Amino acid sequence: MKRLFGSKKEVPPPPSLDEAGGNVGTRVDALDEKIKKLDAELRVHKEKLKTSRGGAKQLATKRAMACLKKKRMYETQRDQLANQQFNIEQAGFAIESAKDTVTTVSAMKAASTQLKKQYKEFNVDEIEDMTDDLADMMEDMNEINEAMGRSYACPDDVDEADLEAELDLLGDELEAEELEMESGAQPSYLQPSDMPETPAGGLEEKVNEDEFGLPQAQQA
C-alpha cells in the first residue's frame, strides 16, 4: 500500500520563539558588523575626496556614493530584522504571561474550593453567640474586680479644705512641743499621770501553795 499511495511525510515541528529570536538576532549582529566596515570605508573615501582633483575625485565620489547606498540598504534590513526580533520577544512575553495566568487561575480555584470546605465548618450564629458571651463575662469580671477593690469605712467627703485644716492642726501641735522642749519643761505626753499607783483596796494577800501548786488552807 505504501508503494501505491506513498507514505505521509513527517512534518518537522515548527521552531520555537527562542530559536527564531536567536536566528534573527544573529542576522542583526552580522548586519551591524557590515555597517561598521562601510563606515570605515566612508572615512577613507572622505579623506581621498579632500585631496583628489578632477577625474580621481569623480571616481572617489562614485565609490563613496556606492558605499553609502550599501550602508543605507544594510541599515534598512537591520531595522526590519530588529522589528521582527522585537515582535518575537513580545510574542514570547505574551505566551509566558498566559502560562502564568493559567497557573494563577488554577491556584485561585483550588484555594476557593478549600475555603468553601472550611467555611462549611463554621457557624456564624454560634460565633456571634460566643463573642457575646465573652463580652458579658468580661463585663461581669470588671464589675467583680471593681467591687473587690472598693474601700470600706473610708469617708468620701474629704476635700482639700479638710486636708489643709488637718495639716495646720498638726503644725500647731508640733510648734507647741518644740516650745516645751526649748523651755526645759517635760512634754505633756511624758508627764506622770494623776492616777494612784496602788488600787484603793490594796493588794490581795499572797496565797500559799503546796508542792503541787494548789492553795493551802489558812491556819486559824
Report pLDDT digits (tens) over 17-68.
Answer: 888 888 888 999 999 999 999 889 888 888 888 887 888 888 888 888 888 8
Burial of 36 (0-12, 13-18, 19+ CB in 10 A): exposed
Using one digit for the tens of pLDDT, what is the confidence trace for 147-178? 887 766 666 666 677 777 777 777 777 777 77
Distance CA(103)–CA(98), nearest Å, equals 9
Distance CA(111)–CA(119), nearest Å, equals 12
39, 71, 37, 44: which is closest to 60 by C-alpha?
44
Say if pTM beats, i.e. exceeds, 0.75: no
80, 65, 78, 81: which is closest to 36 by C-alpha?
78
